[in-house]
């Protein structure tokens, strides 16, 4: 049995349904609660309906073979995907950028180098580090390290991250944006070189799942219907 996880609700779920329908794959519910489904005529594939975040963590844990979720969530779970997950196919929907943003009143801060200067001065003046509110702690640490910024601390965001500066909870945010309208509405600007990741929905595979002969055969048929590259995935599974 091949296990495939797709988003349980929202725009990503709608776009997944459209993608499978275009490939001639009809999804039918298999339990009353709606957490399990299957493709008509493909009994060796079980579909699980999970949240986008659960799909990323389940792929990393090897609990499922394939999943559809945002690349931002996949790379937050595993910044280094090699040997753990394989991006099978970008799906052309669910676009969003993970960005670094600051108050638009910071007229002298437009790049990560400027932010580095500000963070050092802020720590010296205030005897505490610049606060960065985010749900993307892993991606933030990696990106800030690449830009040699160390005088900061992460404030985990449980709600609307873009509101953290106005609420006095942080000076900087790392968040996703599509049009940038929400950031502008909260008087924030994206740094010129502050795009951490240009994300979209991905069909991804776990390299730590149990890829027995039946799962591989079912995967080959499914990816053929979706116009995705099965041999590339098979090579990654064999190498893992």
The Cα–Cα gap between 174 and 157 comes to: 10
- pLDDT 10s digits, 55-91: 999 999 999 999 999 999 999 998 888 889 999 999 9
Please state the domain count of the chain: 2
Residues 82 and 15 in one domain: yes
Specify the CATH number for the domain of residue 191: 3.40.190.10
Mean pLDDT of 24-51: 89
**Across 124-134, average pLDDT:** 92
Are 180 and 206 found together in one domain? no
Alpha helix segments (H runs only) across 9-136 = 10-22, 52-61, 71-77, 112-126
Structural domain harbouring 219: 2-94+201-239
Q: Are residues 209 and 147 in the same domain?
A: no
Q: What is the mean pLDDT of the chain?
A: 94
Residue 58 and residue 76 share a domain: yes
Is residue 72 located within the same domain as residue 143? Answer: no
Q: Report in angstroms the alpha-carbon separations of 220 from 2, 24, 25, 213.
A: 10, 16, 15, 11
Angle at 202 between CA 199 and CA 207, to 5 degrees: 120
Q: Are residues 126 and 37 in the same domain?
A: no
Cβ(23)–Cβ(17) below 8 Å: no
Q: What does pTM read for this prediction?
A: 0.92
d(CA 161, CA 7): 22
Residues 108 and 169 in one domain: yes
């Amino acid at each position: 049995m091949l296990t495939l996880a797709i988003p349980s609700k929202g725009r990503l779920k709608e776009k997944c349904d459209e993608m499978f329908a275009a490939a001639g794959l009809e999804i039918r519910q298999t339990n009353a609660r709606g957490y399990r489904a299957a493709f008509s005529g493909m009994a060796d594939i079980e579909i699980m309906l999970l949240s986008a975040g659960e799909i990323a963590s389940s792929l990393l844990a090897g609990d499922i073979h394939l999943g559809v979720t945002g690349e931002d969530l996949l790379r937050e779970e595993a910044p280094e995907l090699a040997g753990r997950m394989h991006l099978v196919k970008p799906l052309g929907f669910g676009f969003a950028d993970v960005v670094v943003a600051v108050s638009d009143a910071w007229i002298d801060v437009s790049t990560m180098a400027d932010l580095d200067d500000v963070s050092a001065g802020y720590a010296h003046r205030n005897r505490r580090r610049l606060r960065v509110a985010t749900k993307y702690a892993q991606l933030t640490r990696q990106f800030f390290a690449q830009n040699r910024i160390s005088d900061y601390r992460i404030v985990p965001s449980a709600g609307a991250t873009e509101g953290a500066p106005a609420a006095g909870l942080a000076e900087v945010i790392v968040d996703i944006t599509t049009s940038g309208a929400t950031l502008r509405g909260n008087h924030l600007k994206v740094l010129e070189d502050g795009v951490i990741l240009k994300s979209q929905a991905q069909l991804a595979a776990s390299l730590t799942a149990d890829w027995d002969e039946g799962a591989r055969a079912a995967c080959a048929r499914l990816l053929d219907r979706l116009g995705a590259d099965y041999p590339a995935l098979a090579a990654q599974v064999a190498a893992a």
